[in-house]
Structure 1
């Protein structure tokens, strides 16, 4: 059932609100007139521009990000009032064409706004540091919650941005990377938790200072494409540990795997290795590659058939390292130390035949390095796993299994 009230058309069955046709046509005519003034650089009354802003502000009920597309018009109006007062005239500024063209598109489409409550929410926690950004996405399941971890680094142009804009870009980068996956999971609402009060306010109210406006506009477009709504809430900084730790992983971290965890893996897959090798392995730093001989000792250059390769790659190079090891023509028995994170780009590379063993959480398996302790950085969240890639000979012929854990 549809009912028109004060220029709005309310649909009680679909719970949608739309601008009435007569109101839309009149407003669209005003926008087109202003576009013509700006293109031809004609003189326009200051009162006409102020009236147009008021009429566009009326559409805020249907189009909440209205404030993001009125910034330049408000700036030009303030300048015109300062120079000639309310009764003056000004040459229409061509810098308004971008916002006016966007309003023309919005009014032509006249997309109804749904007022239904979304039933598939997800919780997104973000953090932006000077090194990079991190996000923890929590998806509700029937039995338990599933967490997806995302992180990245800033481009050279983004390093100089203010921290408030970086916080907004962290949300945008997360939607860009996980947008398709969120659509597959039919997620239609995100509860954003951030410890930055300015970011919370600008994303919730769809307005803010001029500097983060381009980022907020891009975020709004991404939300429309994904059909996702965002509701923000404040999270105390001391509780935002997971996203904080992920934002520091853009650079090369200096945490190391405990030797006792490595010994546990080697004793399982190669019981004939002498105990003297286990004593030599105290720590395996992140980004290092070890070659261990089953005959004893540690090798740095040669790689005979009886050697085992232990690789602990950086987080940002996991995909490249995994591809290289899987595509090697002659591969030794290789052990890779990786985080047990779902939804990563390298996750599809894993096959059911790979042997996987869970070592424990990062806090249980890793030791922070000197730099991390000095800066006060935390270890990444989640669990640590070891993936065992058998030799090419054992894969092509008949090979014996070195473990019982399989990829599910």
Structure 2
């Protein structure tokens, strides 16, 4: 399987992870989907297995593994058919912890990164606001310096893990007069006085908690500023490439799961004396879907390879999310159709998968925004360069 990118060690890790997920996670999925609450014990089990530290350097308590271990984690999480559970895990590791890994100082890593690796603390990322999502420079949340502290006022929305997380990596304006150069990043304990969370009722991703958060004169120690004032926009833009590539990988993985399930169903379902995988119209449509999935998968692997080698893959990661999430929606829609009436029944996986998939072209930058980013690169010849250390 894809030996160009995956070694024998990767394959052993994949099998071990599959076994873990089916033993420790799958038996609880229906409960978590129904309640919208993931039991705390599973975070600690993930921590014990080292899954939260795959991409964290060894000197910071992680495993320091290449990005294809991350790909395996993402793919296998999609194949247990709970987009919400998968999102809770990867939002913690690859949204919150990415900033701690990259931009945290020693004290911040000791206080927040180490317990995050162990599953003792859960993190989330707060950029999007009720008045604007992808318009990061237009955010209204402010952080005002006051002695040895900052006072934060504002709100964030669509925050995965926002209700049950212990801390948030929060973007706020420390100097409103400077536009995007006035944005800074803070680590905010979500149990701080003045923080309130409102759990949002979503179409899909039912197992995860998604929140709108309000910050009313929340006092944050100055030591919780990440990097320097004004560096926040650069940190956010740099992290977007990884987030979008992750959503591209998620998309090809859930499309592969949907196709595998549909193929199995079609090989067993009989009408007019033959299984429905023998009808040419269905066979050819499934092949088209499989080809689209495989093209996205191979493209995504190539982008992961480039990112793992240190390349700044803004264009490629943006294309990955744009095309892969659109493809996954089409695959989910048609695979549900292959199941006929059973596709519409909640006891079968396609109804949930269709709902969960629909967030793909929205979260992490809508497809419309991504097209404009790509247009600036391809048509306007704009160059996105990695920030200087």
| TM-score normalised by the chain length of structure 2 | 0.25
Task: Please tell me whether Structure 1 or Structure 2 has the larger radius of gyration of its CA atoms.
Answer: 1
Greater relative contact order (Cα < 8 A, sep 6+):
2
More helix by share: 2
More strand by share: 1
| TM-score normalised by the chain length of structure 1 | 0.24
